[in-house]
Amino acid sequence: MELILKKDVENLGFQDDIVTVKNGYGRNYLIPKGDAILATSSAKKVLAETLKQRTFKEEKIIKEAKAIEEKIKGLEIKIPAKVGEKDKLFGSVSNADVANAIAKSGAEIEKKFITISGGLVKRLGKYMAKVRLHREVIIELPFDVIAEKK
């Protein structure tokens, strides 16, 4: 089933992408939720016109995303966490913690645009996070999980 996404859908695509999904997923989840519409020939023509008009606006958005990228690229992010035996954390460090650490530097990024390789962090050490500022601007951001000072 071919659909046109109306919103960004995690692990599927971005707004206005044409994607192919299984019938049940499209019919029972994406379409009723308002995240997608059927990709009929007329809907594709409307989409093409919309994308043509949006290209100028898109350049400005990409420029802003690159400015944010330059701002956070050189950051040294250290996230303090409570530690137990053998460098194991009490709880875990998630994308929300990384988003808060970036926010302290002055750049607001929603946590849904941050993915930590390997999922949640449960030990001290150095890790990498992917920050998606735009569909064309994705950066790798290293961060450290350190022991919280008592």
Q: What confidence tens digit (pLDDT) does each residue in 122-133 have?
A: 989 999 999 888
Is 150's pLDDT higher than 80?
no
CA dihedral sign of residues 21, 25, 31, 33: negative
Model pTM? 0.64
- Structural domains of the chain ordered from first start: 2-62 (3.40.5.10), 69-147 (3.10.430.100)
Is 19's pLDDT higher than 90?
yes
The alpha carbon of residue 141 and the mean position of all alpha carbons in its chain are separated, in whole angstroms, by 13
Q: What confidence tens digit (pLDDT) does each residue in 104-119 have?
A: 887 888 888 899 988 8
Residues 6 or more apart whose Cβ sits within 8 Å of residue 105: 71, 72, 75
C-alpha span between 114 and 129 (Å, rounded): 7
Q: What confidence tens digit (pLDDT) does each residue in 44-88 have?
A: 999 998 888 888 788 888 888 888 888 888 888 899 988 888 888
Residue with tokens 């988003």: 99
